[in-house]
């Protein structure tokens, strides 16, 4: 069944059942590999994408439920890697293994769109559920402050 999705500001038509997980549509049908399969039950955040600016777990989101909405993957956040969060991630050297980073970055970008100068507590609440096996949470928080134009020391 043809399904029309708006992914990274481009309309895409995919031939999938409406209950197909969005993650598999992105990865297997649109060749967008940034969202990762982690837990498969929506708790780790490795598959996070933005739908109309809200972070969602693409492993638990049916593709048919987001038809007509703006879906943003890490590839579409800034193809050149120039989004403030992406630049802060590099400057603060957040990533270790990197597996969770696309989900972390998209969740952080959504937070900063809603709240341009979050406190540590607001960052922790917004990022809760985006797991990092390497434990880079202090650097993630620092990068979010950095992207917001502040350093963690100023908070």
The continuous run of DSSP H or E covering 51 comes out as strand 48-51
**53-66 per-position pLDDT tens digit:** 999 999 999 999 99
Distance (Å, whole) CA 142 – CA 121:
13
Distance (Å, whole) CA 133 – CA 98:
10
Check residues 150 and 94 and name the one with the higher pLDDT.
94
Q: CA–CA distance from 129 to each of 5, 47, 79, 126 (Å)?
A: 26, 12, 26, 8
Nearest CA among 116, 110, 123 for reference residue 53? 110
**103-117 per-position pLDDT tens digit:** 999 999 999 999 999
Domains 2-76 and 84-154 equal at CATH topology level: no
Residue with tokens 């638990």: 60
Question: 2.170.190.11, 3.30.540.10, 3.10.20.30, 3.30.420.40: which CATH number matches 2-76?
Answer: 3.10.20.30
- The domain locations on the chain are 2-76, 84-154
Q: What angle do CA 151, 153, 154 make, to 5 degrees?
A: 70
**91-103 per-position pLDDT tens digit:** 999 988 889 999 9
Predicted local confidence at residue 1, as pLDDT: 76
Nearest CA among 108, 111, 106, 2 for reference residue 57? 106
**18-72 per-position pLDDT tens digit:** 999 999 999 999 999 999 999 999 999 999 999 999 999 999 999 999 999 999 9
Question: 1.10.3480.10, 2.60.40.1110, 3.40.50.300, 1.10.150.120: which CATH number matches 84-154?
Answer: 1.10.150.120
Q: For the chain, what percent of residues have pLDDT higher than 70? A: 96
**122-133 per-position pLDDT tens digit:** 999 999 989 998
Q: Which two tokens stand for residue 13?
A: 């038509």
Please, what is the average pLDDT of the chain?
93
Instruction: Decide: pTM greater than 0.85.
Output: yes
Other Cβ atoms closer than 10 A to 19 = 9
């Amino acid at each position: 069944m043809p399904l029309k999705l708006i992914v990274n500001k481009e309309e895409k038509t995919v031939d999938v059942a409406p209950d197909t997980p969005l993650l598999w549509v992105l990865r297997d049908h649109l060749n967008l590999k940034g969202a990762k399969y982690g837990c498969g039950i929506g708790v780790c955040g490795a598959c996070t994408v933005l739908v109309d600016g809200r972070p969602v777990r693409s492993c638990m989101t049916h593709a048919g439920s987001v038809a007509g909405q703006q879906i943003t993957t890490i590839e579409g956040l800034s193809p050149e890697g120039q989004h403030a969060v992406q630049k802060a991630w590099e400057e603060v050297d957040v990533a270790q293994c990197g597996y969770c980073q696309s989900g972390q970055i998209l969740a952080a970008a959504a937070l900063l769109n809603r709240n341009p100068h979050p406190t540590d507590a607001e960052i922790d609440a917004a990022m809760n559920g985006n797991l990092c096996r390497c434990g880079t949470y202090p650097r993630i928080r620092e990068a979010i402050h950095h992207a917001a134009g502040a350093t963690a020391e100023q908070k």
